[in-house]
């Protein structure tokens, strides 16, 4: 006769404490505490030994308790508009690469191109007492600026360098990008441009870029025929529909300048469907320098904003500030204009 099976409660697993790590390393518990809190005053070799031992023993710190005690936690709060346009994943890859070897980890929030939403997200992230903050762009509301002033931690604003930052700034001159593309368009012999843009309110970087483009054309006596906008996230179908409308409204158009590469790819398909020769009859350009353009023929002209480099530089700036560097560092990343195969000549 088989006896009935019996279930037993799992045996409790003992928690690893800082005293266990101290004993394993042969250092004081205070030293372990300082290392795990990210405080200075411990030699690099000892700090590395403590962190390695903590990991090998499976120690998981109670960050909430640390925050309640007033200590900073090794998090970098990063707020980007969103992830739908394929731009910011590469920025985050660069940020993580730059933080590698430190104890800092990025935690992400979405501002949705809205300063009030950004402030709300920032308030939630600051509640965890991060060691630093990364914001997108230079435009923020008074609430955001007040919270950051009270937090008194390193802040790095990324993507745009046309203006004064709160603390550190890493980005490209969006206005300069527009100027450079306008000059390339004029040099290629195009004369009738239409802008294909996002209707997203608060996208100051797009506005600055198109302003530089239009001002340069105007100074050269070259008209911008008009602009068309789309709502919501960027997509190839939206670019195709927008370009088809542009061809219908302005049949004389011979250049489409698109707010990003996704819209430019859709515009190319619309030009091909309409039987327009690219670039002989109509040229076009996008913005960002996304990798997927390498698989499209003809290859679309664009501006590579070096997003990975921006993220990595932001990380280095944070580490430098945490090590005692002064506020206000700036790094302007030089973008690369890629003529592709959609500009004449």
| pLDDT tens string 55-90 | 788 776 665 565 555 678 899 999 999 987 688 999
Mean residue pLDDT of the chain comes to 91
Which of 35-49, 83-97, 251-265 bottoms out in mean pLDDT, i.e. has the lowest?
A: 35-49
Q: 73-173+307-335, what's its fold?
A: Rossmann fold (3.40.50)
Q: Is the separation of the CB atoms in 297 and 271 below 8 Å?
A: no
pLDDT bin (cut points 50, 70, 90) of residue 143 is very high
H-helix or E-strand containing 307? Answer: helix 307-322
| pLDDT tens string 92-125 | 999 999 999 999 999 999 999 999 999 999 999 9
Domain boundaries, the chain: 18-61, 73-173+307-335, 174-304
Residue 11 has pLDDT above 50, yes or no: no
Residue 288: name the closest of 256, 311, 255, 261 by CA: 261
Helix axes 115-126, 142-151, angle to 10 degrees: 20
> Quick one: pLDDT at residue 215?
98
Alpha carbons 185 and 193: distance in angstroms, whole number: 9
Q: Is the separation of the CB atoms in 172 and 332 below 8 Å?
A: yes
* Fold equal for 73-173+307-335 and 174-304: yes
Residue 156: name the closest of 104, 233, 202 by CA: 104
H-helix or E-strand containing 80? Answer: strand 73-80
Task: Scan for tokens 């003809």, then name that residue.
Answer: 298
| pLDDT tens string 313-322 | 999 999 999 9
Task: Scan for tokens 């030089």, then name that residue.
Answer: 334
> What is the arithmetic mean of pLDDT over 259-272?
98
Supply 332's token pair.
């302007």
| pLDDT tens string 208-228 | 999 999 999 999 999 899 999
Alpha carbons 255 and 191: distance in angstroms, whole number: 7
Superfamily of domain 174-304: Response regulator (3.40.50.2300)
Supply 168's token pair.
């550190």
Residue 311: name the closest of 99, 94, 142, 151 by CA: 94
Alpha carbons 145 and 286: distance in angstroms, whole number: 33
Strands 168-172, 330-332: pairing kind: parallel
């Amino acid at each position: 006769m088989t006896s009935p099976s019996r279930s037993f409660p799992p045996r409790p697993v003992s928690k690893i404490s800082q005293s266990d790590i101290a004993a394993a390393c042969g250092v004081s518990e205070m030293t372990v505490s300082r290392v795990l809190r990210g405080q200075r005053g411990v030699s690099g070799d000892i700090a590395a030994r403590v962190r390695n031992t903590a990991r090998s023993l499976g120690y998981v710190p109670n960050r909430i308790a640390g925050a309640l005690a007033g200590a900073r936690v090794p998090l970098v709060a990063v707020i980007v508009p969103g992830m739908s346009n394929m731009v910011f994943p590469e920025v985050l890859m660069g940020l993580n690469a730059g933080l590698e070897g430190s104890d800092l980890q990025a935690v992400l929030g979405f501002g949705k191109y809205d300063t009030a939403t950004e402030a709300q997200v920032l308030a939630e992230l600051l509640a965890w007492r991060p060691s630093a903050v990364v914001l997108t762009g230079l435009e923020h509301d008074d609430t955001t600026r007040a919270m950051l002033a009270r937090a008194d931690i390193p802040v790095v604003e990324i993507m745009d360098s046309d203006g004064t930052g709160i603390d550190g700034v890493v980005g490209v001159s969006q206005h300069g990008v527009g100027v450079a593309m306008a000059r390339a368009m004029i040099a290629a012999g195009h004369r009738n441009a239409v802008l294909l843009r996002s209707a997203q309110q608060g996208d100051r970087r797009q506005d600055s870029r198109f302003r530089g483009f239009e001002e340069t054309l105007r100074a050269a006596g070259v008209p911008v025929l008009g602009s068309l906008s789309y709502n919501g996230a960027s997509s190839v179908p939206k670019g195709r529909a927008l370009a088809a409308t542009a061809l219908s409204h302005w049949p004389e158009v011979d250049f489409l300048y698109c707010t990003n590469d996704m819209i430019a790819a859709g515009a190319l398909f619309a030009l091909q469907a309409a039987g327009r020769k690219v670039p002989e009859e109509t040229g076009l350009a996008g913005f960002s320098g996304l990798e997927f353009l390498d698989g499209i023929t003809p290859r679309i002209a664009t501006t590579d904003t070096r997003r990975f480099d921006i993220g990595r530089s932001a990380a280095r700036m944070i580490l430098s500030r945490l090590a005692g560097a002064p506020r206000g560092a700036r790094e302007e990343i030089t973008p690369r204009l890629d003529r592709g195969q959609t500009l004449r000549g």
